A = this chain, B = another copy of it.
Amino acid sequence: EQGPILLDGKATSAKIREELKEKCEALKAKDASMVPGLAFVLVGERTDSATYVRMKKKACEEVGIQTYGHELEESLSEDKLVNLVKELNANRDVHGILVQLPLPSHINERRVLDEISVDKDVDGLHPYNIGSLVLRGCEPRFVACTPLGCMELLRRYEIPIRGKRAVVIGRSNIVGLPMSQLLLKEDATVTCCHSKTEDIASYVKEADILVAAIGKAEFVKGSWLKPGAVVIDVGMNRVDDETRQRGYRLVGDVEQQECRKHASAITPVPGGVGPMTIAMLLNNTVSSAMRIYSV
């Protein structure tokens, strides 16, 4: 029996990073002072956040993006954080600003994100950028990296979208919501499901393209799928596993093995959406630098 196409985010991401590396080299060859720069702002000591930032920084350095790290104490005041963002907005070497979420609870996340210059908002979370994504006739400067990575994967595997029934489970600012809008812009008929949706299986059964961005391990059952569906599994959930050295393994928001019996294409976890997210962060930063340098 033939299994589904595996939408290989790891390999695709490697290819994209190769392309970006060449772009960075071409920039530098033109003018040695032209180096894309990404500023990281990390507040507090969450180990998961620190890990994400470390991974992203490493990926930047590999393609030739200069990183600027700002690791700040948990107790930092909101005003001080806003001032840092303003400095980074004004800093001409910085082309992208990434404030690692979540922020400590005493800080108003929205106020900080709104301060990031629309021109350096590589995470695509500024209302102006989301509004420009949603409105017809507008082009956002930046789109959130995870949904952008999902779209890029669909594009590179030439999965048709127009006219298809797409179901997106999850409506977070950073994944589900922009994902729905991107699929709609590509002319899918899009249904947005969430925790208040009744009988989710009935929607999944109709989906030609299913995007699961829920944050619940193996939430989507293989038996729910429409035969031949394309499955994008955004979930990254830790499940205890004593057979692993780390004590856990990563599983997605869909039953991976059961879904493979019905899907025509599926993203593995890990190695699917995760690496694409990082590739899109690099891509957004390099594009931003090229825009600001007017190249």
Interface residues on A, range: 35 or more
The digit string for A134-176, where 1 denotes a CB below 8 A from any CB of B, is: 1111100000000000000000000000110000000111000
Interface hit among A55-63, A70-78, A124-132, A263-271: A124-132
Taken together as a complex, chains A and B put the C-alpha atoms of A190 and B136 apart, in Å, by 19
Are A136 and B196 interface neighbours, CB within 8 A? no
A171 close to B127 (CB less than 8 A):
no
Quick check: B192 and A190 within 8 Å, CB to CB?
Answer: yes
Which of B128, B134, B162, B194 is A189 in contact with, Cβ under 8 Å?
B194
Instruction: List residues of chain B with CB within 8 A of the CB of A187.
Output: 194, 196
The count of identical subunits is 2
A162 touching B132, Cβ below 8 Å: no
B134 touching A130, Cβ below 8 Å = yes
Among A136, A177, A184, A196, which residue has the most Cβ atoms of chain B within 10 A? Answer: A196
Whether A191 sits at the interface, judged by CB under 8 Å, is yes
Other than the known A110-B137, A190-B191, what 11 A-B pairs have Cβ atoms closer than 8 Å?
A127-B132, A127-B138, A130-B130, A130-B135, A135-B173, A136-B173, A163-B198, A184-B194, A187-B194, A187-B196, A191-B191
